[in-house]
Structure 1
Amino acid sequence: MYALVDCNNFYASCERVFNPNLRNKPIAILSNNDGCVISRSDEAKAIGLPMGAPIFKWEGFCKVNNVQVFSSNYPLYGDMSSRVMALLEQFTPDVEVYSIDEAFLEFKGFDNHNFDDYGHQIRGRILKWTGIPTCVGLAPTKALSKVANKIARKFPEQTKGVYVIDSEEKRIKALQWIKLEDVWGIGRGLQKRLKVKNCKTAFDFVQLSDDWVRKSFSITEWKLKKDLEGISTLTLDEVKTKRAIATTRSFEYTFSDFDNIKERISTFAMSCSEKLRKQHSSCHMVYVMLSSDRHKKQEEQHRASRVVSLPSPTNSSLVISNCAVKAVASIFKRGIKYKRAGVIVTGLVPENNYQLDLFEQENEKHKHLMHTIDHLNSKYSDYKIKLGNQDLKRTWKMRQERLSPRYTTNINDIIVAK
């Protein structure tokens, strides 16, 4: 048996946990640099605030409808997500964290359990211990648990936030109800190809012959079909190391001077290096990109990138930052107002298992220095140790004019009871 536990309107729910005055009020959470809406409460959806709405166009609408608008508070959301995922491990050791607000659970050896009761226990404990409302869908396969979760979310009064597909009758009814575009794993391209076969629902999809699906699509689509039929073919994914690591950001403002851009690139390179060391990897190549604001078409546009191959694999912030700064210097054009940049490290290999270079090796002192920097930053947080060409006052230069307190990760923002 599988379960999908999904946090309802997660970002908005995190804001409500520490500010009860926001309950039953429309809430909108903005993207980096307060650009557009990336999360809405049910109340905001009900009054017609669309996903992805540019806030500068919808500012008046939000004021008229008393929508509470917040900047993304990622430290708070990440910490609350960790708390929810830790609670899920109390119910089964087999947990796959699918995203910041949802996870798959597999129940092995739970044959005699009442899964409806168990689902309510999961939901109740998360709500009581974190204040985050969730929906729980349970079914014999991963794909069906996704369908069950959608039913629990769509019909909260009837299901009380928990729905179990535990019979053939329930499975068929659920597949007949869910539209093809709402099925987990079916994207736009696959939708178009299936609609040629007059597939409108998930039930129509599973009526197709196995042979036709195998010939027309990949093994992934065939496994999805079998999963929807109640035959488990999709298992929990193991945590894998990434093949590439990226840090890309829009700037707080447009920059036309090289000093500001160099500082941003150095910070992005530092972030990539830290992520490399966390997964015990090194990189062979550094990819740097720089682009102007494409929305300001009246201004001169410029977009460029550069790849730098390293003589030997490294995860040293010093080496990667130096390469990234040299790369961005070679593509920078004076007079252009740049809005976005990024650093991607690729060609990843294990840090303790790679081909040595006969003539050139990285300074052995870098490993000890990086270990010390990581230890100090972990101990004191807020990234106290930085490179000399980084901004010493701020980690990311993002516009966050509506940021709520970091209630759980900053001691100065902890709620004080009087």
Structure 2
Amino acid sequence: MARAYALSDGNSFYCSCERVFDSSLARVPVIVLSNNDGCAIARTQEAKSLGIKMGDPYFKIKNYCNLSGIKVYSSNYTLYGDMSARVNDIYRSFSPRVEIYSIDESFLDLTDVQASHRVSLARDMRSTVKQWTGIPTCVGIGPTKTLAKLANHIAKTIPELGGVCDLSDEEERAAWLVRTSLREIWGVGPATARKLEALGCDSVGDVRDLDPRLARKGMTVVGERLVYELRGIPCLDLETVAPTRKGCAVTRSFSDRVDDLPRMEEAVATHASRLGEKLRQGRLGTDHVTVFFHTSEHDRDRPQRSVSTVVTLPEATNDTLVLAKAAVSGVRRVWKDGYRYSKAGIITTDLMPLEASQRALIGGLDRERSRPLMEALDDCNRRHGRGSVVLASSGWAKARSWSTKFNMRSPRYTTRIDELPTIR
């Protein structure tokens, strides 16, 4: 049986989440900003029509937003993540196989659905998601994941399609492909687009008609797969089980420049705590961490510095106490006064399942003592909210002058009882 995939995507997902809980935002231009209220990362159609572009720095458009009546919000990732989970629960009632591709996009396997029923099922799914969660979506259907992604783009840009586009039929697909720019192909960035244009391609149809060997020569095996996927030959299956992490990073820009050692130690210890939490979720461990911090290139009148150091551990671990101690030692190793640092982080690679990792003969860690302590730490933070129990080296959350700014964040309606919507 021929494969069939659907890609369902939340329209302006972050902004739509804000609108669900504030009816006054309907048909009003809305944007959501990145960490530290830096750049526009989500925009409603009304905001796009007013000229707000993806990535516009907020400090440049702040006055324009005020004059134009554009509502501005800080990122509320707790709310967005919970709404995403609710939407995906609905998707699973329409398909047994769902791949969560991103916070607002999911692939569904519709192979077992009759071809004549797929569009009506997609419309029913859109209606259900809108009724149960308030989130508007668009659905693209195709015989490959690449074509489903392309169909989703068409569904978003052609209102007459009613939010659903099906590229399963070969003749209909051919008509759409010659009308669509190759820059709309999933995974084709500016550099790849220039390579394809140099080969004489202008539309998606031109890329589909490329010799696969030529595509492989210019863009490796990824280019060859792309050509086959556009021809309706599946090369990518759904990833319903998330692949095991190979690496992990926790990095943050500071809301204010950090120029003293105690605050840098506090920030890096906080990042190490989050790293340990992520590793424990995957039952993984690491035997080394890389700590880095640097100044901002925008502080052109200030001295610049960027440093990193690797701290090796005696054996693999995911113990927050061990990771934080190692991270702080790395900071002390490379710290220099006289600089205003703008960002810091902790990175690790070559992760391994903790139970299968090799133990140290000398100077090993006490895992038997560590495990119940970390379980208790995670349980407290799950039950009472992240940051309820922290290391002393991470400092008191409300006193962290460097922590990320969310000055215009909406309430976390679905996960914090003290932030529930109120009716007056």
TM range (shorter): over 0.9
* CA displacement 1:85-122 (0-9 Å, x = unmatched): 11111111110101000010012322365111001011
- 1:227 aligns to what? 229
Output one character per residue of 1:214-258: Cα deviation in whole Å (capped at 9) or x when no partner.
344322221221111111221112411211111100111111111
- Pick from 32, 40, 45 the counterpart of residue 43 of structure 2: 40
Which of 236, 258, 263 is 1:260 aligned to? Answer: 263
Question: Per-residue displacement from partner, 1:164-206 (whole Å, max 9, x unpaired)?
Answer: 1231111101211211111012222222221121101110011
Contact 2:123 2:164 in 1 (8 A): yes
Distance in 1, matches of 2:57 and 2:191, equals 27
Name the structure 1 match of 2:164. Answer: 162
| Counterpart Cα distance in 1 of 2:107 and 2:144 | 10
Counterpart position of 2:380:
376
Report what 1:183 is aligned to: 185
The one-letter code matched in structure 2 to 1:409 is: T
CA distance in 1, matches of 2:34, 2:306: 22
1:10 matched residue in structure 2: 13
Whole-angstrom CA distance in 2 between matches of 1:369 and 1:202: 55
TM superposition outliers: structure 1 runs of 4+ over 4 Å? none
Q: For residues 204 and 67 of structure 1, what CA distance do their matches in structure 2 show?
A: 40
Length-normalised TM-score, structure 1: 0.97
Equivalent-residue separation in structure 2 for 1:218 and 1:242 (angstroms): 24
Q: Deviations over 1:323-364 (max 9, x none)?
A: 000101111111211111001122211010012221121013
Per the alignment, residue 125 of structure 1 pairs with 128
2:209–2:227 Cα contact (<8 Å) kept: no
SS at match of 1:92: coil
Consecutive unaligned residues in structure 2, runs of 5 or more = none
Residue 214 of structure 2 is matched in structure 1 by 212
Q: Which residue of 2 aligns with 1:392?
A: 396
The alignment status of 1:416 with 2:422, answered yes or no, reads yes
Q: Tell me: CA distance 1:112–1:168, structure 2 relative to 1, closer, same or farther (3 Å).
A: closer
CA distance in 2, matches of 1:49, 1:403: 20
CA contact (8 A) 2:387 2:397 kept: no
Select the residue among 232, 238, 242 that pairs with 1:239.
242
Instruction: Tell me if the contact between 1:284 and 1:346 (Cα under 8 Å) persists in the aligned partners.
Output: no
Q: How does 1:54-65 map to 2 (within 5 A)?
A: 54-65=57-68
| Between 278-287 and 162-171, the greater mean CA deviation after superposition | 162-171
- The CA deviation string for residues 16-51 of structure 1, in whole angstroms up to 9 with x for no partner, is 000010111111111111111111111110010121
In the alignment, which residue of structure 2 is the partner of 1:26?
Answer: 29
Match of 1:202 in 2: 204
Q: CA RMSD in A?
A: 1.4
Unaligned stretches of 5+ in structure 1? Answer: none
Q: Structure 1 residues 353 and 175 mapped into 2: Cα distance closer, same or farther (>3 Å)? A: same
- The amino acid across from 2:210 in the alignment is L
Whole-angstrom distance in 1 between the partners of 2:32 and 2:99 = 26
Residues 11 and 112 of structure 1, relative CA distance in 2, 3 Å threshold: closer
Verify the 8 A CA contact 2:212 2:223 in the aligned structure 1.
no
- TM-score norm. by structure 2 comes to 0.95
Q: Where does residue 149 of structure 1 map in the other structure?
A: 152
Between stretches 103-112 and 239-248, larger displacement belongs to 103-112
Is 1:365 matched with 2:361? no
